[in-house]
């Protein structure tokens, strides 16, 4: 189904200060029966929603990046466990628990890097396994439904808090650079890094330098689209132009999201983030990560242990169905890289801004109870 979006602001590039509002589009929406996902593979050209009715459709949507961005993948996975379990019509609570576990195991194989996926699946497992044996199947399904809804609402709240805490950070900056899409399309709320930037732009004039983000152009297709709709001034650059933008003094702060943060602060994010952090250090520009605590994997001592997804050759040898390299070309196509904690000026979370020493300061945020990021 095609639906036209109503931009929050139509100011376009160069418009002045504006206020941050709830995004005019919904990245994911529970309809009461199924999950509706904004198909991010088609943006910005086409605005189409697809309906997800079961875990297989969701697995495919996660793999193909119809839904992408660490927090959004986690939220979608919560609904996937509910949909997949409901579909199998378990006849007892014991069977329901087993089925929910199988569906969660299956969804866990869709993408390996964003820990929010595993965190959300663990939340579902924990909720359902916490039910007493005497409960009915109806109560079990309601529990999975409510858990998915909670994960979604919780992400909205976390994003809002991250934006609030982070907005003062690009202090005095006129130019801020971001990579990939860490905005509303990547979450159930206002986004992480882009949420921070939009909030900062609501109080002062900012120009956002948007890395196009090869190979799949999440920056050009999604972040530029989001900033344009919000009326924020932005310049699209290819990834290889970021160093020159820094050298010319156009950028005073960098804010990106993360897919998984190790206990020592090392942070995995979209491929191309690490060179930004290295350049930022060289030019003396603060480099910030904005992410919810559900993105921190306290079980991993350092970034070396973060599993990095490798994707298909075709993503590098062409774009949009057009080949740009000789037939048969083989590639190296890791979807993420890891920024050493040493290069990170601050990690902006929903509980506040964390600085080095990260191992100590992040551990203070570790949830007392909770699932996958314990």
Minimum CB distance to ligand MRU smaller for 223 or for 264: 223
CB of 4: closest distance to ligand MRU in angstroms? Answer: 24
CB of 370: closest distance to ligand MRU in angstroms? Answer: 19
Burial of residue 217 (CB within 10 Å: 0-12, 13-18, 19+) is buried
Burial 340-366 (b: 16+ CB within 10 A, else e): bbebbbbbbbbebbbebebeeebeebe
Binding of residue 259 to ligand MRU (CB under 6 A): yes
Binding of residue 182 to ligand MRU (CB under 6 A): yes
Q: Which strands sit side by side in the sheet containing 296-297, from one edge to the other?
A: 296-297, 260-262, 267-270, 336-339
Tally Cβ neighbours within 10 Å of residue 161.
18
CB of 139: closest distance to ligand MRU in angstroms? Answer: 33
From 27, 264, 269, 349, residue interacting with ligand MRU (rule: CB under 6 A): 269
CB of 30: closest distance to ligand MRU in angstroms? Answer: 20
From 270, 287, 316, 344, residue interacting with ligand MRU (rule: CB under 6 A): 270
Binding of residue 62 to ligand MRU (CB under 6 A): no
Candidates 58, 64, 38; CA nearest to 121 is 58
217: left (phi over 0), alpha (psi -120 to 50) or beta: left
Using CA of residue 113, residue 117, residue 123, residue 125, what is the dihedral sign? negative
> Which residues neighbour 241 within 8 Å (Cβ) at sequence distance 6 or greater?
none
> Which residues neighbour 341 within 8 Å (Cβ) at sequence distance 6 or greater?
262, 264, 265, 266, 267, 303, 356, 358
> Which residues neighbour 173 within 8 Å (Cβ) at sequence distance 6 or greater?
200, 206, 251, 252, 253
Binding of residue 27 to ligand MRU (CB under 6 A): no
Which range in 20-28, 68-76, 94-102, 322-330 contacts ligand MRU by CB under 6 A? 68-76
Q: What is the DSSP letter of 193?
A: H
Binding of residue 201 to ligand MRU (CB under 6 A): no
Minimum CB distance to ligand MRU smaller for 63 or for 138: 63
Backbone angles phi, psi at 294, to 5 degrees: -65, -10
Binding of residue 187 to ligand MRU (CB under 6 A): yes
Minimum CB distance to ligand MRU smaller for 11 or for 44: 44
Tally Cβ neighbours within 10 Å of residue 94.
12
Binding of residue 154 to ligand MRU (CB under 6 A): no
Confirm if 244 and 282 have CB atoms less than 8 A apart.
Answer: no
Which residue number is nearest to ligand MRU in terms of Cβ? 257
Using CA of residue 198, residue 201, residue 206, residue 207, what is the dihedral sign? positive
CB of 290: closest distance to ligand MRU in angstroms? Answer: 8
What 3-state DSSP class applies to 241?
helix
CA distances (Å), origin 217, targets 110, 211, 212, 241: 21, 8, 5, 14
Minimum CB distance to ligand MRU smaller for 127 or for 197: 197
Residues 95-114 that bind ligand MRU (CB under 6 A): 114
Which range in 64-72, 162-170, 237-245, 353-361 contacts ligand MRU by CB under 6 A? 64-72
d(CA 270, CA 55): 25
Which range in 66-74, 99-107, 117-125, 139-147 contacts ligand MRU by CB under 6 A? 66-74
Binding of residue 215 to ligand MRU (CB under 6 A): no
Binding of residue 218 to ligand MRU (CB under 6 A): yes
Binding of residue 277 to ligand MRU (CB under 6 A): no
From 154, 259, 266, 297, active-site residue: 259
CB of 270: closest distance to ligand MRU in angstroms? Answer: 3
Confirm if 197 and 208 have CB atoms less than 8 A apart.
Answer: yes
Minimum CB distance to ligand MRU smaller for 61 or for 141: 61
Is 259 noted as a catalytic residue in this protein?
Answer: yes
From 110, 192, 294, 345, residue interacting with ligand MRU (rule: CB under 6 A): 192
Indicate which residues carry an active-site annotation. 259
Query: For binding to ligand MRU (CB under 6 A), which residues are involved?
Result: 65, 68-71, 114, 180, 182, 186-187, 191-192, 218, 257-259, 269-270, 335
């Amino acid at each position: 189904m095609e639906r036209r979006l109503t931009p929050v602001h139509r100011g376009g590039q160069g418009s002045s200060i504006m206020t941050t509002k709830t995004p005019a589009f919904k990245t994911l929406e529970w309809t009461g029966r199924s999950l509706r996902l904004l198909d991010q593979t088609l943006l910005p050209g086409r605005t189409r929603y697809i309906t997800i009715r079961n875990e297989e459709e969701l697995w495919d949507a996660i793999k193909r990046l119809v839904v992408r961005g660490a927090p959004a993948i986690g939220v979608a996975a919560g609904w996937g466990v509910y949909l997949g379990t409901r579909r199998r019509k378990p006849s007892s609570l014991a069977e329901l628990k087993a089925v929910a576990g199988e569906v969660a195991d299956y969804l866990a194989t869709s993408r390996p890097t964003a820990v929010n996926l595993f965190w959300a699946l663990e939340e579902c497992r924990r909720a359902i396994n916490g039910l007493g044996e005497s409960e009915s199947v109806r109560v079990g399904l309601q529990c999975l439904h409510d858990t998915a809804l909670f994960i979604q609402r919780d992400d909205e709240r976390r994003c809002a808090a991250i934006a609030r805490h982070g907005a003062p950070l690009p202090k005095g900056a006129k130019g801020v650079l971001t990579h990939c899409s860490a905005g509303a399309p990547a979450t159930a709320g206002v986004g992480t890094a882009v949420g921070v930037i939009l909030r900062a732009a609501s109080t002062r004039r900012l120009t956002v330098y948007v890395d196009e983000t090869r190979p799949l152009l999440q920056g050009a297709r999604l972040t530029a689209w989001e900033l344009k709709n919000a009326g924020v001034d932005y310049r699209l650059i290819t990834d290889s132009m970021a160093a020159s933008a820094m050298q010319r003094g156009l950028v005073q702060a960098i804010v990106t999201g993360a897919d998984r943060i190790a206990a020592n602060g090392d942070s995995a994010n979209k491929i191309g983030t690490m060179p930004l952090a290295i350049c930022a250090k060289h030019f003396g520009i603060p480099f910030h990560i904005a992410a919810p605590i559900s993105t921190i994997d306290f079980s991993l001592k350092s970034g070396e242990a973060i599993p990095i997804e490798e994707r298909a050759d075709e993503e590098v040898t062409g774009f949009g169905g057009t080949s740009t390299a000789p037939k048969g070309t083989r590639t190296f196509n890791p979807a993420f890289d890891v920024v050493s904690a040493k290069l990170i000026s601050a990690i902006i979370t929903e509980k506040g801004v964390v600085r080095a020493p990260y191992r100590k300061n992040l551990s203070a945020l570790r949830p007392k109870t909770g699932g996958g990021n314990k």
